[in-house]
Copies of this chain bind each other. A is one copy, B any other.
């Protein structure tokens, strides 16, 4: 399993429009086979700063997400609302024996 954090910086007057689009993206992404979790958070006291916390079965599942029809359709619409591009980082859990 991998974890990914995507940070979205949305223009404050575009937040309402963003929530409609990201809501649709969340709904469809959660139906993808390799998706485990896909949850939206907003930073406290920083309007327009969001993170999507994502868990995926493996890296291939995340790659497939970037090529999914709903991703290709919705993301360019979200990009028009951004202050700057989405920042994506990919992580693995650190475990002790």
Q: Interface of A with B (CB < 8 Å)?
A: 2-3, 5, 19, 23, 39-44, 50-51, 53, 89-94, 96
- Chain B residues closer than 8 Å to A92, beta-carbon distance: 41-42, 44
- Chain B residues closer than 8 Å to A43, beta-carbon distance: 89-91
Interface pairs (22), CB distance under 8 Å: A2-B44, A3-B41, A3-B53, A5-B5, A5-B51, A19-B94, A19-B96, A39-B93, A40-B93, A40-B94, A41-B91, A41-B93, A41-B94, A42-B91, A42-B92, A43-B90, A43-B91, A44-B90, A44-B91, A51-B89, A51-B91, A53-B53
Interface of A is mostly: strand
